[in-house]
């Protein structure tokens, strides 16, 4: 077996965590707080993965900059309030996620990481809630341009010393797959998330978490 390190990067919302209800609820409260009509549910899900300012640019393009800034802050507060109230039930992991993360983490050559549009505060809370201390690199919206800019993936590669050929980006939206492609890594789309996987142009698609370990073995011939 090769001793070369492999980097496995995951998106969070829609890939590891089923957070659509939490996201939609916080968005509803943010828009209501500004006296605005709430965007349709499908429209809200279409922006999951973008950094919040870009998301609000798409959801409220006709609103003044100040109002969009208030929407961002309102969303953050609503999301945090509900997370504190609901704990682990706020953003449950998808079936099989915890087990497969543990399986991959046990492989010495594999390094796990996340590249997410969540804030650092939000990511740390989710990691603590689900005891996901397996990620050695954690790239969040606070420190990078929004997806699909490749900054998150490139920084994760630099932090871990892994070459692009030895890394994959796993996600559920076009933002994830386009980001991975822009960084020169292989891409894997999951079909349980917020964008139709068949439309993303990923190198591979999985429909269950347990398909991931054998796919990675096939990719790297380990």
Q: What is the distance in angstroms between the CA of the first residue and the CA of the last residue of the chain?
A: 6
Catalytic-labelled residue, pool 4, 11, 142, 210: 11
| Residue 11 annotated to the active site | yes
State the catalytic residue, choosing from 13, 166, 172, 178: 13
Active site residue 166: no
Name the DSSP class of 116.
-
> Omega into 181 within 30° of 0, i.e. cis?
no
210 close to 84: Cβ distance less than 8 angstroms: no
Q: Which of 96, 15, 94, 9 is nearest to 49 (CA)?
A: 15
Calpha distance 16→91 (Å, rounded) = 9
Cα separation, 46 vs 30, whole angstroms: 17
Give me the helix-helix angle, 151-160 and 174-183, nearest 10°: 50
Active-site positions read 11, 13
């Amino acid at each position: 077996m090769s001793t070369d390190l492999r980097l496995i990067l995951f998106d969070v919302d829609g890939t590891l965590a089923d957070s659509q209800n939490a996201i939609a609820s916080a968005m509803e409260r943010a828009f209501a707080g500004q006296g605005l009509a709430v965007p349709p549910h499908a429209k809200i899900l279409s922006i999951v993965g973008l950094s919040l300012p870009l998301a609000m640019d798409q959801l409220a393009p006709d609103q003044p900059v100040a109002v969009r800034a208030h929407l961002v802050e309102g969303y953050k507060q609503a999301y945090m309030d509900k997370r504190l109230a609901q704990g682990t039930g706020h953003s449950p992991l998808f079936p099989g996620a915890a087990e497969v993360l543990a399986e991959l983490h046990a492989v010495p050559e594999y390094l796990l990481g996340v590249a997410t549009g969540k804030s650092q505060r939000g990511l740390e809370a989710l990691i603590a809630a689900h005891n996901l201390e397996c990620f050695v690199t954690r790239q969040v919206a606070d420190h990078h341009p929004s997806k699909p800019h490749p900054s998150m993936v490139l920084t994760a590669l630099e932090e871990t010393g892994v070459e692009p050929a030895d890394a994959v980006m796993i996600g559920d939206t076009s933002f994830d797959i386009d980001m991975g492609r822009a960084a020169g890594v292989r891409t894997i789309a999951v079909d349980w998330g917020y964008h139709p996987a068949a439309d993303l142009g990923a190198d591979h698609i999985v429909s269950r978490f347990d398909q991931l370990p054998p796919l990675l073995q096939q990719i790297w011939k380990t």
